[in-house]
Amino acid sequence: MRLLIVDDEVIIRTGLASVIAWSELGIDLLTPAASAEEALSRLAEERPHILMTDIRMTGKTGLELANEGLQLLPEMEVIILSGYDDFSYAQQAIRQGVTDYLLKTSKPEEIIKTVLQAKQRVMDRWTEKSKEGRLLQENKQRLFERWVIEGDVNTGSCPAFLKPGAAGFANVSLEGSQVYQQVVFVIRAQGWSRSSAALLRFAVQNMLEDMLPGAATHIHKEQIIGVMQVTSRQQELLNTLGTVVNHMEQLLKCSLRAAVGHPVCGEVHLHESYLTASQAYQYMSLLDDKIWSIERVKHRKGGKSLLTHEEETVLGTLLLDNDPVTLTTWTRELVKELMLDPEVTPESFNACLHSAVIAGQRWLVRTMRAIGREEPARYDPWVPEPDADAVDLQDMLFHHLYGLMHTYYSQMGQGQASHVQKAIAYMESGLAQEMSLQQVAGQIHLHPGHLSELFKKETGTTFGDFVTNMRIRRAMEMLAVSPAKVSEVATMSGYEDVKYFSRLFKKHTGKTPSEFREEAYVFKPSGS
């Protein structure tokens, strides 16, 4: 793909020629021209595919060059360089067939994007013109997906571009025989705008094939998937790929991360390498590495996947405090704890975050019922984005929990009754803790004596009796559905002395805990 730069200012044309590594973008830079007249004299022989010209020059203008040049080369892409004062001219140029324009103050990455877009348009026209070429390209994509992504190797022979031993590869000796090893890697490219994301993947794909001779690449959804030949030395592979990735990041001003699968011998096993690369790719949100292999994570067994009862209690208390700052700290520390676990996997990480979401929803239902308010009919679903990193997931968790907290406080209302409601909700969130009048009053910033008076007035019972009834009710629920020992139920209900718990339970229910459990099982509906 040939590019001709035209500008009568030597500092501009030499700067554009030298500030960007054009060859690494698949662009063959012709010697820049100092005037429109010089450019026109060279067009017929050099036939550039892309023309980048200043809009105002001594002699013929860039618009005149564009008009005459397009008559000679109708499919040439023309990019106009303009200053701020030339904006109206640039608009006129676009109406006359110029495909794009750039301000002379544009950053190198903006110039790269514009030229790559022009290159893509040229290639699209080439593909359209050549039905045979288009069919070959589509067939190559289908074969890559069939052999590497889908693992369908039983229909037809392996395509040549996937066979080991291609030009640029060297033999690797394994166990005394000359064989080849291949490996599949998956790359994620970010850093450009959403509208330019596809263009970025296209640029990365082109550069990979230029910088890794013999490599085969394919864009699948939002990933760049590649197959390359490797030696048996894993670190050498990571170093090679790391060098390529670092170079592309600097040139394209983007962020690249790569996950590498397990090396395999024989193209029929490429799908196995792809599966392990995809497995490694799932760790993107859990690792700080730019490049990692399946060997780095394959032995992990899974970390913490559920909040403990104590953690659920703390979360309920935080939500009741209506303090976004403290809630932010809690979510950040939870994510940090999970990521520092050497056994964490994507499954266990996501399960624990989901456990926090469920705990928050349970808190909302419980507290709404406790204060006699109707619980929300629905919740916003917890649907993390597939490629979200840990920071994104942390923010998503916070916003979900904050939404639950906001739902509660939007229905709480004001006035004296709300103090009692808040006290009840706090006790529902922390039944396993010691619930003294002083502790609860301090939590809702009220004098203990005042809270005691409000409690009796609003509920018709004393604070102490209310706490006891609440604990016994919770114990009845646990005995009816849980296989936990009576002593464990007592502890979870807030009573360390199981004998005292049993006497209190019988006083309130007329049965011992064991008798209550037996009757609950006898009358339990079948199938429940």
Q: Where are the beta strands (DSSP E) in 55-97?
A: 77-82
Reduce the DSSP state of residue 308 to 3 states and report it: coil
Query: What are the percentages of helix, strand and coil residues in the chain, rounded to 5?
Result: 60, 10, 30
Residues forming a β-bridge with 228: 183
What confidence category does residue 527 fall into, taking pLDDT thresholds of 50, 70 and 90?
very low
Residues 208 and 116 in one domain: no
Average pLDDT over the chain, rounded to an integer: 84
Domain closes at, from 372, 387, 414: 414
Task: Summarize pLDDT for 169-204 with one digit per residue, the tens.
Answer: 433 444 444 456 889 999 999 988 887 888 899 889
Of the ranges 345-349, 492-496, 517-521, the best mean pLDDT one: 345-349
Instruction: Please report, for the domain that includes residue 113, its CATH number.
Output: 3.40.50.2300
28-29 and 2-6 strand pairing: parallel
The answer to whether residue 83 scores a pLDDT higher than 80 is no
275 and 325 share one domain: no
Residues 285 and 341 in one domain: no
- Better-predicted residue by pLDDT, 392 or 375: 392
283 shares a domain with 186: yes
Kindly state whether residues 64 and 113 are assigned to the same domain: yes
Q: How many domains does the chain have?
A: 4
Asked if residue 158 belongs to a domain, the reply is no
**Residues 272, 210 share a domain:** yes
Boundary of a domain, candidates 383, 414, 445: 414
Residue 455 lies in a domain: no
Of the pLDDT bands very low, low, confident and very high (cuts 50, 70, 90), residue 373 is low
* Residue 517 banded pLDDT, cuts 50, 70, 90: confident
Q: Is residue 457 part of a domain?
A: no
Mark which of 233, 265, 296 sits at the end of a domain.
Answer: 296
Rounded to an integer, the average pLDDT of 153-181 is: 62
Same domain, residue pair 406 and 317: yes
Task: Supply the pLDDT for residue 336.
Answer: 93
265 plus 316 within the same structural domain: no
Residues 141-168 have a mean pLDDT of 82
Regarding whether 395 and 278 lie in a shared domain, the answer is no
Q: Are residues 263 and 313 in the same domain?
A: no
The first and second tokens of residue 411, run together, are 């229905």
pLDDT tens-place string over residues 379-408: 666 777 766 778 888 888 998 898 888 887
pLDDT at 478: 83
- pTM (2 d.p.): 0.67
Query: Is residue 423 in some structural domain?
Result: no
Residue range 348-371, pLDDT digits in tens: 999 999 999 999 988 888 777 766
Instruction: Please answer whether residues 102 and 80 qualify as being in contact, where contact means their C-beta atoms are separated by less than 8 angstroms.
Output: yes
Within this chain, do residues 190 and 287 fall inside the same structural domain, yes or no? yes
Residue 134 in domain: no
Q: What is the pLDDT of residue 385?
A: 72
What average pLDDT does range 119-123 have in this prediction?
A: 90
pLDDT at 313: 81
369's CB contacts (< 8 A; 6+ apart) are: 375
Q: Which of 269, 274, 49 is nearest to 158 (CA)?
A: 269
Confidence of residue 334 (pLDDT cuts 50, 70, 90): very high
d(C-alpha 48, C-alpha 46), whole Å = 6
CB atoms under 10 Å from CB of 259, counted, come to: 27
- For residue 255, give its domain range: 148-153+178-296
The verdict on residue 444 lying in a domain is no
Which is more confident, 22 or 389?
22
Report how far apart the first and last C-alpha atoms of the chain are (Å, whole number).
70
The DSSP-derived string for 424-441 is: HHHHHHTTTS---HHHHH
In this prediction, residue 172 carries a pLDDT of 40
444-480 pLDDT, tens digit per residue, is: 778 888 888 888 888 888 998 888 888 898 888 888 8
19 and 76 co-located in one domain: yes
